[in-house]
Amino acid sequence: MHRLSHHQVVSPLLTQSARPLLQARRCLQPATLRSSPRVSISHQSTCLTTQSHRVFATQSTPTPSSTRTTYLGQPPKGMLTVTQLEQAAATEEIDTVVVGFTNLYGQLLGKRFDTDFYLSSCHKDGTHACDYLLANDIEQNPTPGYKTINYENGYGDVHLVPDTDSLRLATWQDSTAMVVCDIYDNKTHQLHPMAPRSILRKQIDKASAMGFACMAASELEYYQYETDFRTAHKANWQQSLIQPVSTYMEDYHLQTTATEEKYTAVFRHHLKHSGIPVENSKGEAGLGQHELNISYSDILQMSDRHAVYKQALKEMAQQLGISLTFMAKPFTVSYWRNTH
């Protein structure tokens, strides 16, 4: 994408405003999926069960024991059944499936599959990735010193097994669906003990054994900037060279956040249509700081929503030619820019 300085409109997609983008991308949502009645979804459930809904075609891969997706009502808009994905593949309305998993940092990693190949191969047999992804640093250097994942053990593969309860549209990308994987040890065919999703599953199993289901929500805050990621990188993220989206502190401010709706409305729209129900968004206490809240759900699905939400916002920010950060504290002081 052509990059312009932050003084100019930064994305060709936004030459008028974000509204055409919003409209245009809304049209990208497959018509059959838009119109398909949610009652047809086969895995809907109104109460938790101890049995997984997941059926693995690969005999060597055990079914996770953790309680699975619970919906108090209908599954959210944008969640897909495998049948719906098959229909969308047949009409080529979905041509890409993002197959993702989270590493130790919580980053979503994975591969993009052609939908036909996903359905004929990955859906049944999973896919593989190098185990160093659970033992590297953020620069993706293999880190020495881990007991089980190291050069001595050869950095073999882990088995990525899609959890089809997490299958959803990713409407912020063209014709794309997304699924989150559990990670299995390639040798023992047990859930990989170091994978964050396995660690949570173990605690969910414990809660289930005690007779408990757990409902959860996470409330993410983030700072956003008019400056795009590439320019911010080039500027070494210096505070004086990157421009917050707002001029004023904006805690609950409707006027200031209205000027940012060209971004935030896009975020809310695509989360909502990608299986992540949105409650609200609001300005926060920092310059350009926002909170965008999504609905609570069972704790495993909430974790997936959180991981996908972060990924979705960062990808949308790239498309919009802006940047945003989920760092806990991106800058020491707020008003630094105003003093210069």
Partner 1 sequence: MCNCIPTLTRCFIQLVARSQDATGSGCHIHLSLHALDNVKDNLFLGKETLGPVKNTSKNFAHFLAGWIKYCPDLMVFYAPTINSYKRYQSSSWAPTRLAWSYDNRTAGFRIVGSGKSLRIENRIAGADCNPYLVFAASLASGLRGIEEKLEPPAAFEGNIYEAGDLPTVPKTLKEATQLFTDSKFARSVFGDDVVDHYAHFYNSEVAAHEKAVTDWERQRYFERI
Site for partner 1 in 19-58 (CB under 8 A): 46-48, 50
Three-state DSSP at 180 gives strand
**Which CB, 145 or 154, lies closer to partner 1?**
145
Q: How far, in Å, are 115, 186, 242, 293, 323 from residue 272 at the CA level?
A: 22, 35, 29, 11, 21
131 is an interface residue for partner 1 by CB under 8 A = no
C-beta of 114: minimal distance to partner 1 in Å? 28
Candidate ranges 91-99, 118-126, 168-176, 303-311; the one touching partner 1 (CB under 8 A): 303-311
Q: How far apart are CA 75 and CA 69, in angstroms?
A: 9
Out of 11, 246, 303, 323, the only residue in the binding site for partner 1 (CB under 8 A) is: 303
Pair 6, 226: CB distance under 8 Å: yes
**Which CB, 16 or 218, lies closer to partner 1?**
218
280 is an interface residue for partner 1 by CB under 8 A = no
282 is an interface residue for partner 1 by CB under 8 A = no
302 is an interface residue for partner 1 by CB under 8 A = yes
- What is the pattern of x (binds partner 1, CB under 8 A) and - over residues 83-102? -------------------x
Out of 260, 273, 284, 320, the only residue in the binding site for partner 1 (CB under 8 A) is: 284
Give the gyration radius of the chain's Cα atoms: 21
295 is an interface residue for partner 1 by CB under 8 A = no
Q: How far apart are CA 79 and CA 30, in angstroms?
A: 13
Q: How far apart are CA 236 and CA 222, in angstroms?
A: 19
C-beta of 22: minimal distance to partner 1 in Å? 25
Single-letter amino acid code for the residue at 93: E
Q: Which residue has the tokens 């994987």?
A: 181
| Residue from 118, 125, 111, 116 nearest 56 by CA | 125
Site for partner 1 in 191-220 (CB under 8 A): 193-194, 196-197, 199-200, 202-204, 206-208, 210-220
Single-letter amino acid code for the residue at 322: I
Q: Which residue has the tokens 């593989």?
A: 128
145 is an interface residue for partner 1 by CB under 8 A = yes
